[in-house]
Amino acid sequence: MMNGAEYLVQFLERKNVRHVFGYPGGAIMPVYDALLKSKIKHYLCRHEQGAVLAADGYSRSTLGSHLPGICIATSGPGATNLVTGLANALLDSIPLIAISGQVNSALIGTDGFQEIDTLGLSLAVVKHSFLVDDITQLDETLNQAFEIAMTGRPGPVLIDVTKDVQQAEVPSSLLSKRTTHFSEQDDRREPAFDLNELLRLLSRSRKPVLYLGGGCLSSWHLGDVNKLLNNVEVPFVTTLKAVGIESKHLLNLGMLGMHGTQAANHAIQESDLLIALGVRFDDRATGNLTKFAPNAKVIHVDIDGSEINKLRKADLSIRGDLKSVLPVLNNALQKQEYSEWVRHCCSLKKEFCWRYDSPGPSIYAPRFLAQLSKRARENTFIACDVGQHQMWVAQHCEFSSPNHHLSSGGLGTMGFGLPAAIGAQVANPNNCVINVSGDGSFAMNIQELMTLIRYQLPVKIVLIDNSALGMVRQWQHLFFKDRYSEVDLSDNPDFVSVAKAFGLSAKRINKSHHEQQGINWLLEQSGPCLLQVCINNNEQVWPLVPPGAANHEMMLEENQK
């Protein structure tokens, strides 16, 4: 005999799920009882949002494993606390399975204790949502959930399981036909497109740019993307999510957009052909869309047909998995020659390279982060929170792979970094994992320090502290005539003392000549630790494309660093 909760847990085991994140409660208690007999290790986070963001970080750091992150919560407030994390995963196309408990089927609609319409509540923030109120639906639902999360454009799926289904005996007929496989047939279909038109666009171009987005990760074919970049001489730019693709490549012009590099933004605006791979022409990347790459034809490749022609009309649209398209592009581009354009883009990259000679005694965050990135072990993961520090990491840190740069892109979720770092550390126990946070974001999920200590996860936290909500303050300075409204965090607690109270090793630095000492200390720690890096709250992120401007109309700091 086996009940529904035991069946669910054994299903996860058959899918080779080894780790889950969650928080128990009444409506999910049978699943937690089944976990006691399981080989799956459960990580108790201290808030359901922490659990879903940890599952997100787990999934991001293991893209290519064909295994989504898994989180578990109870009904009512447990489920509502998952919503932000689910939305975060949806906008960044992260495969994730959320399992929530629900009240008994007979109580649905009666406003029972901790009852909420989780199915209805979640519809806007997931790729698909299920309510399982019949034990005979369980096997098919679990298989569908994994297939939906992992195929096509990946995303989060929620499975809401009533308590009576968890407790019900599984029919013998269901046990005999249970399956744990899914088909990727739709994913791997050969995309139909006009090859002659592709060759015509490439042959007529003199200034092509490869525009790489998160779909290059979601297709799980980074090796094919890297092969393309190393086989052809075409400059390329990345979105925030694609930062880390061939970081050291000579023709990598960096991130484009609002806080992109000058080289990337100028090249995009001068280009006559954009080869857009797995991008959605997001407003943070394009600036004023009507002024974006005004002279460029567009070849747009995406597995999600809804993204094609949504914002920028494509001259050639190719709906399909990159795996099928990259070899064609590889062969076609190798036959073209763009040497003059390549030399120009290399000169842009040289002309607008970063400088780190900021004067004064204060710590200069971009320099600190660049030095930390160089000193950290190869294959280090950096999980960011959201704000100025997030942009500085994207601009100044190098990554061996985009899967090592964990950043909340589409939703911009403050509090993402620490739980995501926890998930990445669980998934990659032998790698160095660093959480770069700000004093605003850090307070959002500070309770997860307890999770670090309970499981002795050696996450290294770098807290960039400017005693302000730095990004909002920067905008109020630039666009609201220094009318600072609710951005002052000068009454923050002593974060070193707070970290030590939780059980972490902690240290503070606040002068430029302490930077190397601080980095050495951080990287030498064997357990969870926090380095508070105090900076001047007048520091700002440059360059910046202001609202309504084209990408080449960047605001630059005086005496550009």
Kindly give, in sequence order, each residue whose CB lies less than 8 Å from that of residue 306, ignoring residues fewer than 6 positions away. Answer: none
Amino acid at 545: V
| Alpha helix (H) residue ranges in 151-186 | 163-167, 172-177
Separation between Cα atoms, residue 63 and residue 73, nearest integer Å = 23
- The DSSP result for 364-404, as a single string, is -HHHHHHHHHHHSPTT-EEEE-SSHHHHHHHHH---SSGGG
How far CA 359 is from CA of 150, 513, 540, in Å, comes to 49, 12, 15
- The amino acid sitting at 521 is W
Residue tagged active-site, from 15, 127, 163, 241 = 163
Rounded Cα distance between 284 and 549, Å, is 11
Closest Cα partner for 97 from 40, 21, 152, 31?
21
The answer, yes or no, to whether the previous bond of 208 is cis (omega within 30 of 0) is no
> How buried is 183 (Cβ within 10 angstroms: 0-12 exposed, 13-18 middle, 19+ buried)?
exposed
48 as an active site residue: the answer is yes
CA pair distance 259, 391, nearest whole angstrom: 7
Cα–Cα distances in Å, from 418 out to 86, 373, 383, 385?
16, 18, 7, 8
Residues 6+ apart with CB under 8 A from 295: 270, 271, 272
Name the one residue in this structure whose structure tokens are 């009576």: 164
Nearest to 63 by CA among 202, 279, 245: 245
Choice among 471, 474, 515, 539 that is catalytic: 471
Rounded CA-CA distance 286/213 in Å is: 12
Instruction: Give the bridge partners for 316, in sequence order.
Output: 299
Dist CA 2 CA 9 (whole Å)? 11
Quote the CA–CA distance of 448 and 425 in Å, as a whole number: 13
Task: Specify the 3-state DSSP secondary structure of 437.
Answer: strand
Catalytic residue among 2, 13, 29, 114: 114
Residue 474 annotated as catalytic: no
Sort 429 into a burial class: Cβ within 10 Å, 0-12 / 13-18 / 19+: exposed
Partner residues linked to 412 by β-bridges: none
Residue 169 annotated as catalytic: no
- Of 11, 15, 48, 368, the active-site residue reads 48
HSE-up (13 A, CA, CB side) for residue 26: 9
CA angle 347, 349, 351 (to 5 degrees): 65
Whole-number CA gyration radius for the chain: 24
State the catalytic residues: 48, 113-114, 163, 471
